[in-house]
Amino acid sequence: MQFRHEVLDNGLEIVAEVNSDAFSQSLGYFVRTGSRDETTEIAGVSHFLEHMMFKGTPTRTSLDVNRALDDLGSQSNAYTSEEQTVYYMSVLPEHQSAALDLLTDMMRPTLHQDDFDTEKQVILEEIAMYDDQPPYGAMERAMEEYFGDHPLSTRVLGTRETVSGLTAEAMRAYHHMRYAPGNVCLVASGAVDFESLVREAAERTRHWEPATTDRKRIVPHPATAEVTMVHPPATQQYTLEYSPSPSILDPQRYVYRILASILGDDSGSRMFWELTDKGLADLAVAFTNEFEDCGIFGLYLACAPEQQSENWERIERILSGARTQAITDKELELAKNKVRAGMILASERPSNRLFSIGNAWLSRRKYETVREATENYQRVTRDEVQAAFEGLANRVQVRVSVGPEPEA
C-alpha cells in the first residue's frame, strides 16, 4: 500500500493509495463545491450541474457518455453535498486510461439548452420524490432553522422555485468558477498505475483554465428553536434535533463520534436499549455531521405520534444523564471496537477507500492509512467522552418534528 501525491502545473492535485494486489481500481474527481457555495438565487445549481456532467461533452453526446461508462463495465455515480461534489467510477485496472479519459472529458460538459431543460424535469422529480418520503423535508427545514443566514442553510437539491428559475448561463458561470483545476482533486485507489495516471491527467486537463475560488468559513450562531410541521398523509412522527459539535478540522470530532455511538448507535447504544429494543420507537439514533467551520450533533426519532412526547423525554433524560450515568470503560471499548471493525471491513474494497482518501484530502489535505485512521479513535479517552457528554446538558437545541394532523 503506497500513498502518492502530485500537483499539476494548472493546480490540479492528484492523490492515490496504490495497492498493486487489488482486483480493481477506483477513480474520482472530488470537487470542492456544494450547496454552501451557492447564492440564494441559484440554490440547487451544484446538484443540477452534477446531473448535467453526464449529459455530454464537446466530443461525446449524452448517450455516448452513458454508453462509454457501461462499455468500461464500470460502477459509476456521482453525489453532491453541502461541501463537495464527487464523480467516481470503479473499473478493472486495464481500463484505467479509458476511464480517466472519460471522467476527465465529463468534467468539461457542454451544458446544451435542450439537455438542460430535460434534466430540469428529472431534478424536479427528485425533489418531489424526497418530499413524499419521511421525514418530509424536516431535515432541510432543520438545517435552515439551525443555520439561519449561514451558507450551510442552503438546500442541496434547491427548491422547486430555485431549480425552475435556473438558467444554463448561470450554471456555466458557476461551473467556470468552481470547477477550476485548483478547486478539484483527482483521487485514485486500488490497482493504480500512478505514473500513467499523472501523465495522462496532465495531458487531458491541459486546457483547464485556472480561476480563483474561495469559500467563506463562518462560525454559525444557532439559537434554540422548535418547529412542528404537519404532513397529513404521514402515519408516524419524525423528530430531528441539531446541536453544535466539532468541525471536520477539529481533532475533538473523534470524541463526539464515539459519544454519538455510545448514546445513539442503531444497535447496542443507550437509546437503542431504552427505546428501540423496547419497541417504543422504530428508530432512535444519534449522529454527527461535520463541515469545515462547524459540526452538528444530531438526534433522530421515528415513532407513533402518540408516543413522541414521552419518547423524547426519554431521549432528553439520556442526554442530560452525564452526572448520574457516567460513560463506562466498557461502553467506550465496545464503541471503539465497533468503529474499528467497521472501518477495516469496509476498507477491503478500493471503492470504499476512495471516499476515505478523497474526503480527508479535500477537507484536511491529509492522508491516513486505515490503521492510522482507526488509531484516531483508539486514542480517545473516557474523560474526553465524559466531558463532551456533560456538555450536552446545556446544548442549544434546534428541533423540527413532522407528522400527521394532531388529534383534536
Partner 1 sequence: MQQKLLQHRLANGLVILGERMPWLESVAFTLMLPGGTCREPTDRAGLAGLTLELSQRGAGPLSSRDVVERLDFLGVERSSHVSTFYTTMSMAAMASVLKPTLEIAASILLAPHFPESELEEARQSALLELASIEDDPAQKCFKELKQLRFGELFGRSSLGSEEGLEATELEDCVGFHSRFCKPGGSVLALAGNFDWDEVVRTLESLFSTWSGATDTEPGPVVPYRGAVHLPHESQQTHIALAYDAVPYNHPEYYRGRGIVGILSDGMSSRLFTEVREKRGLVYAVSASSHSLKNCGSVLCYAGTTSNRAQETLEVTVDTIRALAQGIDQDELSRLKSRVQTSLVMEQESSSSRSSQIAYDWMYLGRVPSRQEVLAEIHALTCESLLKHFQEHPPQGWTLVTIGPEALEFSHAVST
Question: Is residue 124 a contact point for partner 1 (CB under 8 A)?
Answer: yes
Question: Is residue 107 a contact point for partner 1 (CB under 8 A)?
Answer: no
Is 201 or 303 the residue whose CB approaches partner 1 more closely?
A: 303
Binder of partner 1 out of 168, 260, 281, 327 (CB under 8 A): 281
Distances (CA, A) of 346 to 80, 125, 258: 22, 32, 18
| Beta-carbon count within 10 A of 340 CB | 17
Distances (CA, A) of 226 to 176, 392, 397, 398: 40, 17, 8, 6
Question: Is residue 110 a contact point for partner 1 (CB under 8 A)?
Answer: no
Binder of partner 1 out of 119, 144, 145, 384 (CB under 8 A): 119
Question: Is residue 303 a contact point for partner 1 (CB under 8 A)?
Answer: yes
Residue with C-alpha cell 437509546? 271
204 CB burial (10 A radius; 0-12, 13-18, 19+)? middle
Question: Is residue 304 a contact point for partner 1 (CB under 8 A)?
Answer: yes
Question: Is residue 233 a contact point for partner 1 (CB under 8 A)?
Answer: yes
Question: Is residue 90 a contact point for partner 1 (CB under 8 A)?
Answer: yes
Work out how close the CB of 110 gets to partner 1 at its nearest, in angstroms, rounded to a whole number: 15
Q: What b-and-e string marks burial along 172-190, b requiring 16 or more CB atoms within 10 Å of the CB? A: bebbeebbbbbbbbbbbbb
Question: Is residue 248 a contact point for partner 1 (CB under 8 A)?
Answer: no
Question: Is residue 137 a contact point for partner 1 (CB under 8 A)?
Answer: no
Q: Which three cell numbers stand for residue 122?
A: 428529472
Distances (CA, A) of 291 to 60, 154, 256, 351, 396: 35, 14, 14, 23, 18
Question: Is residue 21 a contact point for partner 1 (CB under 8 A)?
Answer: yes
Is 183 or 189 the residue whose CB approaches partner 1 more closely?
A: 189
Per-residue contact flags (x/-) with partner 1 for residues 344 to 383, judged by CB under 8 A: xx--xxxx--------------------------------
Q: Which three cell numbers stand for residue 291?
A: 463541515
Binder of partner 1 out of 14, 43, 52, 91 (CB under 8 A): 91
Q: 205 and 183 in contact (C-beta within 8 Å)? A: no
Is 113 or 337 the residue whose CB approaches partner 1 more closely?
A: 337
Distance CA 317, CA 18 (A): 48
Question: Is residue 235 a contact point for partner 1 (CB under 8 A)?
Answer: yes
Work out how close the CB of 182 gets to partner 1 at its nearest, in angstroms, rounded to a whole number: 30
Q: Which three cell numbers stand for residue 388?
A: 463532551
Distance CA 143, CA 296 (A): 10
**Piece of the chain touching partner 1 by CB under 8 A; list 165-173, 302-310, 312-320, 360-368:** 302-310
Is 77 or 81 the residue whose CB approaches partner 1 more closely?
A: 77
Distance CA 38, CA 242 (A): 22
* List of residues contacting partner 1 (CB under 8 A): 21-24, 54, 62-63, 65-67, 69-76, 90-92, 118-126, 128-129, 131-134, 232-236, 267-268, 273, 276-282, 302-304, 330, 333-334, 337-338, 340-342, 344-345, 348-351
